[in-house]
């Protein structure tokens, strides 16, 4: 199921695409560089995980929990406007980049013998996992994140109303579904069952975003936040390591309860640190190149997320060609995963230039090769 897939590392549908920005300007004013930096690091970790497959990467930086937390904050902010308008905006920003990417993936799978059924409709509206064949699985398995993000977006008007009835109790209770799924009733192993599991896994992080936006976190006592967060991390880690035999690994992506608890504790600490100390990373603007990279990552997060696996796939035959050049064979570390990692980023950069403009079109902005460039 989604959160258990290898990459479930997923990374990032761009939660930036969910921001309530209607202005056609290239660089929105008043952006929070702390959140922007977290999102950029989350995307880097996604690509790193999919290159090296390190099980511990999700513990060092639980990217998906962080991404859902940031998206929840943005959604709460956006819902200060009429809900119907917000939902249309979110779906509009998400689907065109997905359709553009999906066209190439679907055509490639058809060429390689895929015979789709009626489930191909999920390539139009991914409320369930879009189907595919084994040949293209490395490309399409990451779509669980888009599906889960879309579910959260559609549920957010109701979730936000419920949250505001009793913020702290609802936040704590949001961990209950994954506990129920782990110990009492497991959803069916199909596209909608996987969706339920993934929503339950990251529900706390999404609602935590509401809590941050509404100022609930800032009012909590530091001792309680730290103790409960570290407790959740400790139990999540313990559960992951003690259930390796069942999952075959301690990778959090394979163990939903451990993922939910670890992410809950980790993301709470990150957001509480932000709320308590008013951290904004405004000083990042002094480092112009780094600041520009963060800007590009946030403005092209959907593109990076969708195309990064294809970039890694293409890196393999490209490196195979390098072996045919004697100088490359002698002097380049062609067998190193780090070399593939570097080539992957070169190809990701190419996809940003070639395909990133679709995000601008989806956001009703003037298409640009790179965002944030001077006029």
Sequence ranges of the domains in the chain: 2-286
Cβ contact 117:36 at 8 Å: no
**Going by C-beta distance under 8 Å and a sequence separation of 6 or more, which residues neighbour residue 247?**
240, 254, 255
- The confidence band for 112, taking pLDDT boundaries of 50, 70 and 90, is very high
Q: Does residue 19 register a pLDDT over 50? A: no
pLDDT single digits (tens) 333-367: 999 999 999 999 999 999 999 999 999 999 999 99
**Contact call for residues 15 and 93 (beta carbons, < 8 A):** no
Q: Rounded to an integer, what distance in angstroms lies between the CA atom of residue 305 and that of residue 150?
A: 15
Burial class (CB in 10 A: 0-12, 13-18, 19+), 331: exposed
Position 375 pLDDT exceeds 70: no
pLDDT tens, residue by residue, 244-298: 878 789 999 999 999 999 999 999 999 999 999 888 888 888 888 999 999 999 9
Measured in residues, the chain has a length of 375
Residue 29 makes CB contacts below 8 A (sequence gap 6+) with none
CA–CA dist 142, 49 (Å, integer):
12
Q: With pLDDT > 90 as the criterion, what percentage of the chain qualifies?
A: 82
Write down the mean pLDDT value for the chain.
90
Sequential DSSP letters for 44-55: HHHHHHHHH--T
pLDDT(150) > 80: yes
Whole-model pTM: value is: 0.89
The rounded Cα 202 to chain-centroid distance in angstroms is 11
Band of residue 30 on the pLDDT scale cut at 50, 70, 90: low
Q: What sign for the dihedral angle of Cα 113, 119, 120, 122?
A: negative
Residue 21 CB-half CA count within 13 A: 23
Cα gap 272→346, rounded to integer Å: 36
């Amino acid at each position: 199921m989604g959160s258990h897939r290898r990459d479930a590392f997923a990374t990032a549908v761009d939660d930036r695409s969910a921001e309530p920005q209607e202005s056609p300007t290239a660089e929105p004013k008043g952006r929070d560089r702390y959140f922007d930096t977290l999102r950029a690091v989350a995307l880097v970790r996604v690509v790193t995980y999919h290159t090296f497959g390190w099980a511990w990467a999700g513990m060092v930086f639980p990217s998906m929990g962080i991404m859902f937390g940031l998206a929840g904050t943005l959604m709460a902010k956006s819902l200060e406007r009429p809900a119907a308008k917000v939902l249309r905006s979110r779906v509009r920003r998400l689907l065109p980049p997905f359709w553009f990417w999906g066209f190439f993936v679907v055509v490639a799978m058809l060429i390689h013998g895929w015979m789709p059924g009626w489930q191909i409709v999920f390539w139009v509206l991914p409320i369930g996992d879009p189907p595919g064949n084994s040949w293209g699985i490395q490309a399409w398995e990451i779509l669980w994140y888009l599906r889960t993000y879309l579910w959260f977006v559609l549920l957010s008007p109701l979730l936000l109303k419920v949250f505001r009835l009793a913020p702290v109790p609802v936040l704590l209770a949001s961990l209950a579904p994954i506990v129920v799924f782990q110990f009492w009733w497991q959803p069916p192993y199909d596209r909608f069952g996987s969706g339920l599991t993934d929503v339950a896994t990251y529900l706390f992080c999404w609602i935590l975003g509401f809590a941050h936006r509404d100022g609930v976190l800032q009012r909590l006592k530091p001792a309680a936040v730290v103790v409960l967060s570290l407790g959740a991390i400790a139990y999540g880690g313990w559960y992951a390591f003690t259930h390796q035999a069942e999952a075959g690994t301690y990778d959090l992506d394979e163990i939903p309860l451990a993922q939910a608890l670890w992410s809950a504790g980790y993301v709470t600490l990150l957001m509480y640190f932000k709320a308590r100390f008013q951290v904004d990373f405004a000083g990042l603007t002094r480092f112009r190149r780094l600041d520009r990279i963060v800007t590009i990552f946030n403005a092209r997060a959907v593109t990076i997320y969708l195309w990064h696996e294809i970039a890694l796939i293409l890196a393999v035959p490209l490196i195979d060609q390098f072996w045919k050049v004697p100088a490359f064979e002698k002097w380049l570390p062609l067998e190193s995963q780090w070399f593939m990692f570097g080539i992957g980023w070169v190809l990701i950069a190419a996809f940003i230039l070639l395909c990133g403009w679709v995000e601008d079109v989806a956001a009703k902005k003037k298409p640009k090769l790179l965002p944030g460039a001077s006029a």
